[in-house]
Amino acid sequence: MIARVRIRPEVLTEHRLRIEMYGLEDEDIENTIRMKGWAWVRARQCWAYAGEPDFIYRQIREVVIGLPDIVFIDEDLRESVETVLAKARSDEEREEGRELLRQALEKTGQPEGKAFITG
């Protein structure tokens, strides 16, 4: 089964965001993300990682792009892209986010998400 991720705004600070992963059934990947600082959130029944953009970008790079069988949740694709772009702390960081999203969407086979990346 393919794990599905989404990126959501976090309200604790202006630039904080959260990435959530649902449907993860691969024990090796579960152990990998746990070592990367992800936590199981029982209330949401998902793995979650929250932080400033640079920390989330690392998770996009190492987890979404780097690991197999992970895609964005289709119905949350727009929110995921818009959250990454809105939470950037600078133009340079926003551009880095755009590039990572392009790579991630290419890897996940979801090119329709590129329409939400403006730049």
Q: Categorize the per-residue pLDDT at 119 as very low, low, confident or very high, splitting at 50, 70 and 90.
A: low
Q: In whole angstroms, give the CA distance from residue 23 to residue 4.
A: 6
Q: What is the pLDDT of residues 21-80, one digit of tens each?
A: 999 998 999 999 999 999 999 999 999 999 999 999 999 999 999 999 999 999 999 999
Question: For residue 107, is pLDDT > 60?
Answer: yes
What's the full length of the chain, in residues?
119
Total domains present in the chain: 1
Question: For residue 1, is pLDDT > 90?
Answer: no
Decide if 64 contacts 4 (C-beta within 8 A): no
* Nearest one of 87, 107, 108 to 97, comparing CA atoms: 87
DSSP state of 24: -
Domain that residue 106 falls in: 3-116
